[in-house]
Amino acid sequence: MRLHRNLVFSVIDGLNLIFNEGEYADKVVQKLLKRDARWGSRDRKFVAETTYDIVRWKRLYAEIADINENYSRENLWRIFAVWATLRGIELPDWSQLEGTPTRRIKGRFDEFSKIRKIKESIPDWLDELCVAELGEKVWSKEINALNKQAEVILRTNTLRTTKEKLQALLATFDNETEFVKGHPVALRLKERANIFRNDAFKNGLFEVQDANSQLVSEFLDVKPGMKVVDACAGAGGKSLHLAALMENKGNLISLDIYEAKLRELKRRARRNGAHNIETRVIDSTKVIKKLYDMADRVLIDAPCSGLGVLRRNPDAKWKIQPGFLDKVRKTQQDILQRYSKMVKPGGKLVYATCSILPSENQEQVKKFLETNEDFTFVEDKKLLASTSGFDGFYMALLERK
Ligand SMILES: C[S@@+](CC[C@H](N)C(=O)[O-])C[C@H]1O[C@@H](n2cnc3c(N)ncnc32)[C@H](O)[C@@H]1O
């Protein structure tokens, strides 16, 4: 592989925004990809994947390059040199890469490969916490799986098409896909491609959604005609799926505390042809109280650490702080206690997170059930990336008596 100067400079600019300006990796990559209309798909792939790779392996590369918390441009170049060296890429004679200690880099890589928190690039405190919660054996396998690049999984929008028809249509655009066992409407893209440019996407025939994430809406057991509340709907990944499962019949109320996210949800709903969604911003406790005892089904896709989706958002490793975890656990319990009241007697509730930590998952449900005798536990799923091959998720189904 030959390194191209303008692509590498773009990666360095991106890393500067992520490491020094606190910007989110996905947003930065989106911005970088708009930089030069002449870039072909290989160039775009290089910029996106190199940026994500270095974010994912930030600690490992920084330790190899002997850099501590200072991510000056000079140090970002040293980190880049580690990335390139470990991939066996021949370094060009650019001044920024002069004097790269190639042999020392390889030696330090071997040395650090024996220390999990460095090898897997994870902060000390987070490594310790995950060992305490999951045990050494499970965590070692899990962090290894979470450091891999996620595949692209599509969810067929059954309001518009079937999985079979979608597969045939995508093949005409040279996007080969395969079915995913245990995930009724999922298609796996065999080769990574910019699928958003595709007319099938623009016409709302599919959404990009991890296969385990697709299990959450199914787990809620909705039926056409029901009154359903998606209490933490965000930009609507699960709401769109719920609307499809309800066949556009009945009433789906999508709530969130952020209006901007719900605006995006509405835009996506139009593209998907989902007509039974009503959005409401939670701007006071009244919004929830008005719905007490009203819903056949409530989904609480709670805010969480996001530790199950590190494959997609590797920068979460560096953004999550111990204080945030304490805060988010309190929010989760508070939301469960208050929003569960929207479920009507005989109705069902799903509590879900994209975290793998028991303290955000089964322990929250257990605590909730201790003080809410009118709810019974039906079943739960604890999905790990290491055993499922998809994102880490938790979901619990509860029923109100
Ligand atoms: C895991 S995300 C939801 C993802 C979304 N359900 C999807 O499938 O695309 C959690 C959401 O909860 C929202 N949130 C945070 N605090 C909340 C609260 N107190 N009540 C309702 N929603 C809240 C966040 O804005 C965020 O959109």
Yes or no: say if 215 and 381 are a contact pair by the CB < 8 Å rule: yes
pLDDT at 29: 95
The string of pLDDT tens digits covering residues 325-362 is 999 999 999 999 999 999 999 999 999 999 999 999 99
Which residue, 70, 99, 121, sits at the end of a domain?
Answer: 121
CA neighbours closer than 13 Å in the CB half-sphere of residue 21: 13
For residue 235, pLDDT over 90 is answered with yes
For residue 234, pLDDT over 90 is answered with yes
Residues 166 and 282 reside in one and the same domain = no
Q: For residue 258, how far is its CA from the centre of ligand 1 (angstroms)?
A: 8
**Domain range for 394:** 213-400
For residue 214, pLDDT over 90 is answered with yes
DSSP 285-341: HHHHHTTTTTEEEEEEE-----GGGTTT-TTHHHH--HHHHHHHHHHHHHHHHHHGG
Amino acid at 167: Q
Residues 95 and 200 reside in one and the same domain = no
Residues 240 and 325 reside in one and the same domain = yes
**CATH classification at residue 368:** 3.40.50.150
Yes or no: say if 284 and 366 are a contact pair by the CB < 8 Å rule: no
Domain membership flag for residue 147: no
Binding-site positions for S-adenosyl-L-methionine: 256, 283, 301
- Residue 255's DSSP bridge partners are 280
pLDDT band at 193 (very low <50, low <70, confident <90, very high): confident
Q: Is 325 exposed, middle or buried (0-12, 13-18, 19+ CB in 10 A)?
A: buried
Residues 202 and 247 reside in one and the same domain = no
Smallest CA-to-CA distance from 64 within 81, 52, 40, 50 is with 81
Yes or no: say if 296 and 227 are a contact pair by the CB < 8 Å rule: yes
Residues 332 and 289 reside in one and the same domain = yes
Domain membership flag for residue 141: no
Domain membership flag for residue 143: no
pLDDT band at 271 (very low <50, low <70, confident <90, very high): very high
pLDDT band at 68 (very low <50, low <70, confident <90, very high): confident
| Number of other CB atoms surrounding residue 364 within 10 Å | 25
Smallest CA-to-CA distance from 365 within 328, 329, 331, 396 is with 396
Residues 105 and 184 reside in one and the same domain = no
Residues 6+ apart with CB under 8 A from 21: none
Ligand 1, atom 11: closest residue by C-alpha: 232
For residue 194, pLDDT over 90 is answered with no
For residue 1, pLDDT over 90 is answered with no
pLDDT at 165: 98
For residue 176, pLDDT over 90 is answered with yes
For residues 45 and 49, what is the distance between their CA atoms, to the nearest angstrom?
A: 6
Domain membership flag for residue 73: yes
Residue spans of alpha helices (H) in 95-204: 102-112, 116-119, 124-134, 136-146, 163-172, 199-202
**CATH classification at residue 201:** 3.30.70.1170
Ligand 1, atom 4: closest residue by C-alpha: 234
Residues 109 and 219 reside in one and the same domain = no
* Cα angle 207, 211, 212; round to 5: 125
pLDDT at 197: 82
Binding-site positions: 256, 283, 301
For residue 151, pLDDT over 90 is answered with yes
Yes or no: say if 161 and 70 are a contact pair by the CB < 8 Å rule: no
Domain membership flag for residue 132: no
Find the range with the poorest average confidence among 283-297, 308-322, 335-349: 308-322
pLDDT at 70: 86
For residues 328 and 331, what is the distance between their CA atoms, to the nearest angstrom?
A: 5
Once rounded to an integer, what is the mean pLDDT over residues 25-44? 93
Once rounded to an integer, what is the mean pLDDT over residues 284-295? 98
Amino acid at 161: T
For residues 329 and 159, what is the distance between their CA atoms, to the nearest angstrom?
A: 36
The string of pLDDT tens digits covering residues 88-102 is 999 999 999 999 999
Residues 184 and 218 reside in one and the same domain = no
Yes or no: say if 344 and 374 are a contact pair by the CB < 8 Å rule: no
Looking only at the bridges linking them, the beta strands covering 295-301 and 343-353 are parallel
Residues 318 and 376 reside in one and the same domain = yes
pLDDT band at 69 (very low <50, low <70, confident <90, very high): confident
Amino acid at 259: E
Residues 314 and 364 reside in one and the same domain = yes
Residues 257 and 326 reside in one and the same domain = yes
Domain membership flag for residue 135: no
Closest ligand 1 atom number to CA of residue 334: 19
Domain membership flag for residue 130: no
Residues 178 and 241 reside in one and the same domain = no
Of 216, 257, 289, 328, the one to substitute when testing ligand 1's pocket (max ligand atoms within 8 A of C-beta) is 257
Rg (CA), the chain: 23
Tokens found for residue 104? 């020392």
* Alpha-carbon separation of residue 109 from 86, 115, 174, 199, 307 (angstroms): 8, 10, 39, 44, 25
For residue 198, pLDDT over 90 is answered with no
Helix (H) or strand (E) holding 190: none
Active site residues: 354
Query: What is the tally of structural domains in the chain?
Result: 3
Q: For residue 263, how far is its CA from the centre of ligand 1 (angstroms)?
A: 14
**CATH classification at residue 32:** 1.10.940
Domain membership flag for residue 128: no
pLDDT at 196: 86
For residue 138, pLDDT over 90 is answered with yes
Yes or no: say if 188 and 178 are a contact pair by the CB < 8 Å rule: yes
pLDDT band at 24 (very low <50, low <70, confident <90, very high): very high
For residues 60 and 24, what is the distance between their CA atoms, to the nearest angstrom?
A: 20
